[in-house]
């Protein structure tokens, strides 16, 4: 399956719960997967005609669970190069994130190689380092469509927050400096697969850090912001996005959906909400249109945080999360 001129068309979905919050400081995002499953997601996907393998809520064997919000940066037992020290020391829990994402990559790869379509429920968006690496190991020509308010492409130098959920794409695009030694913190990310910049496209951006804007420009990374959605409409934007990453419509597609791409009035329970987001229909349209390509091979639904709102807002966010997944897996309006 790794020489991928054969077009995949999985009939089985593997649902992976990834209760992980170590890529950002707010507790609760690790409860996203259990809420989505308890809302009936597995049944809903089966009703669309898929065979569903539920891979459980991963416990990340051997990984110390993140303590409630208060974590060291996890670098104390590792030798770091002095020139990079200052940058790496600002990262939050890099060893934990690297280890968890590595195990997620193996799980996603294994499902994909069995011909299944992995649906990963987050958890924070640092997990996409793992899911996309897993997809690229199984389908080396895969492209990525990243739906988000944020660009999540800060490097170890540009990050203001040190939160690795704002950085996964810098590791996937190999924008960080090479590890100075096998013992360095950066070496713990060496397993991450390489995604060429021209095989990434964004939709929904509206809160992009200054350093990230420079990175997008420098590497000519294609991004459709909310301004573009306003100007062209979502139908045209999805078509242009596909034309960029998938001009011949022959590449397997990994769709990574951060629920904060939706407007906070639609998906309030998330850690970094930004006003001016996608409407309910725009979010679903993206999923429906990608399903229609017949090229979807992996899906992430990330950043649902049931701890961050009142019960009704949580219910609303979890419900919309389930319906985005259904749309990506073929639910239609008629």
Residue 258 contacts Mn ion per CB under 5 A: yes
For ligand ARG, which residue of 31, 92, 125, 137 counts as binding (CB under 6 A)? 125
- Residue 275, exposed/middle/buried by CB under 10 A (0-12, 13-18, 19+)? exposed
| Inter-CA distances, 261 with 138, 277, 290, Å | 27, 6, 16
Q: Is 125 among the annotated ligand-binding positions?
A: yes
Q: Report, in this order, helix, strand and coil percent for the chain, each rounded to 5.
A: 40, 15, 45
Write the Ramachandran bin of 242: left for phi over 0, alpha for psi from -120 to 50, otherwise beta: alpha
Residue 150 contacts ligand ARG per CB under 6 A: yes
Q: Is 152 a catalytic residue?
A: yes
Cite the beta strand spans of 148-246 per DSSP E.
Answer: 200-205, 222-225
Is the Cβ of residue 260 or residue 288 nearer to Mn ion in the bound state? 260
Residue list 270-289, contact with ligand ARG (CB under 6 A): 272
Provide the minimum distance between the beta carbon of 184 and Mn ion in the complex, in angstroms, as a whole number: 26
Token pair 């073929």 in the structure block, residue: 330
Partner that binds at residue 166, options Mn ion, ligand ARG, none, CB closer than 5 to 8 Å by kind? ligand ARG
Q: Is 150 among the annotated ligand-binding positions?
A: yes
Q: Single out the residue of 29, 109, 47, 57 nearest to residue 325, CA to CA.
A: 47
Give me the residues paired with residue 200 across strands. Answer: 144
Q: x/- string (CB under 6 A) for ligand ARG, residues 4-43?
A: ----------------------------------------
The residue ranges that bind ligand ARG (CB under 6 A) are: 125, 150, 152, 154, 159, 161, 163, 165-166, 209, 258, 260, 272, 303
Q: Residues comprising the binding site for Mn(2+)?
A: 125, 148, 150, 152, 258, 260
The residue ranges that bind Mn ion (CB under 5 A) are: 125, 148-150, 152, 258, 260
């Amino acid at each position: 399956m790794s020489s991928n001129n054969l077009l995949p068309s999985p009939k089985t979905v593997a649902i992976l719960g990834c209760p992980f919050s170590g890529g950002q400081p707010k507790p609760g995002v690790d409860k996203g997967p259990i809420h989505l499953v308890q809302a009936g997601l597995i049944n809903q996907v089966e009703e669309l005609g898929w065979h569903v393998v539920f891979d459980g809520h991963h416990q990340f064997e051997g990984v110390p669970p993140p303590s409630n919000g208060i974590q060291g940066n996890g670098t104390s037992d590792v030798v770091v190069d002095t020139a990079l020290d200052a940058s790496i020391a600002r990262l939050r829990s890099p060893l934990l994130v690297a280890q968890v994402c590595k195990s997620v990559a193996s799980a996603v790869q294994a499902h994909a190689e069995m011909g299944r379509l992995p649906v990963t429920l987050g958890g924070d968006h640092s997990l996409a380092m793992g899911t996309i690496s897993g997809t690229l190991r199984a389908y080396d020509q895969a492209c990525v469509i990243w739906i988000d308010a944020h660009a999540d492409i800060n490097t170890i130098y540009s990050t203001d927050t040190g939160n690795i959920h704002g950085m996964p794409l810098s590791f996937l695009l190999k924008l960080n400096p090479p590890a100075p030694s096998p013992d360095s913190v950066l070496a713990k990310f060496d397993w991450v697969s390489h995604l060429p910049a021209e095989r990434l496209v964004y939709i929904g951006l509206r809160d992009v850090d200054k350093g990230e804007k420079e990175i997008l420009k420098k590497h000519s990374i294609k991004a459709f912001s909310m301004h573009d959605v306003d100007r062209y409409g979502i139908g045209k934007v999805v078509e242009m996005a596909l034309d960029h990453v998938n001009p011949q419509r022959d590449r397997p597609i990994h769709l990574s959906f951060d629920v904060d791409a939706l407007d906070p009035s639609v998906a309030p329970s998330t850690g970094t909400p930004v006003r001016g987001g996608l409407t309910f229909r725009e979010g679903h349209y993206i999923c429906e249109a990608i399903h229609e390509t017949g090229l979807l091979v992996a899906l992430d639904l990330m950043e649902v945080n049931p701890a961050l709102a009142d019960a009704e807002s949580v219910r609303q966010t979890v419900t919309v999360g389930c319906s985005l997944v259904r749309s990506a897996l073929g639910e239609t309006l008629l």
